[in-house]
Amino acid sequence: MLTFPGEDTNILLKNGLPIFNLPMPFIGANVTCKIYKVTPFQASARITHIEDQKCYITYRGVFRSLDILANTAEDIYVTDVLKSGQILKALIISYGENNGLILSKNF
């Protein structure tokens, strides 16, 4: 926190940058993320950019099989569609409970 002389204002800092300049995730935002863990029913990702602005705070996202494979009638697992280390664009569709943000690659 920074306090300016003669003012009663504090500015919250994260990694040396004012927090109001950092991109914050919101529903409907286009994000760029990197997959780091894939299971048959979901894939976990780290969000690197929100609306083409670099993130300085690590946000986690989850691709659920329900959201990825909504248009297919076959039994396909997430491991068939997404691979670990893959970088892709996604859309934030919801806030998750404990797993971070719920992402969809269908937009």
C-beta separation of 29 from 83 below 8 A? no
CA 100, CA 105: separation in Å to the nearest integer?
A: 16
Q: Tell me whether residue 18 is in a domain.
A: no
- Confidence bin at 56 (pLDDT 50/70/90): confident
pTM of the model: 0.75
pLDDT at 87 over 70: yes
CA 33, CA 87: separation in Å to the nearest integer?
A: 6
Q: In this prediction, what percent of the chain has a pLDDT beyond 90? A: 43
Q: Tell me whether residue 7 is in a domain.
A: no
Containing structural domain, residue 75 = 23-104
C-beta separation of 63 from 90 below 8 A? yes
Q: Tell me whether residue 17 is in a domain.
A: no
The number of distinct structural domains making up the chain is 1
pLDDT at 72 over 70: no
CATH of the domain at 37: 2.40.50.140
- 2-48 tens-digit pLDDT: 555 555 556 677 777 666 667 889 999 999 999 999 999 899 999 99
Task: Please choose, from the candidates 24, 17, 38, the residue with its C-alpha nearest in 3D space to the C-alpha of residue 101.
Answer: 24
Task: Please choose, from the candidates 57, 37, 33, the residue with its C-alpha nearest in 3D space to the C-alpha of residue 46.
Answer: 33
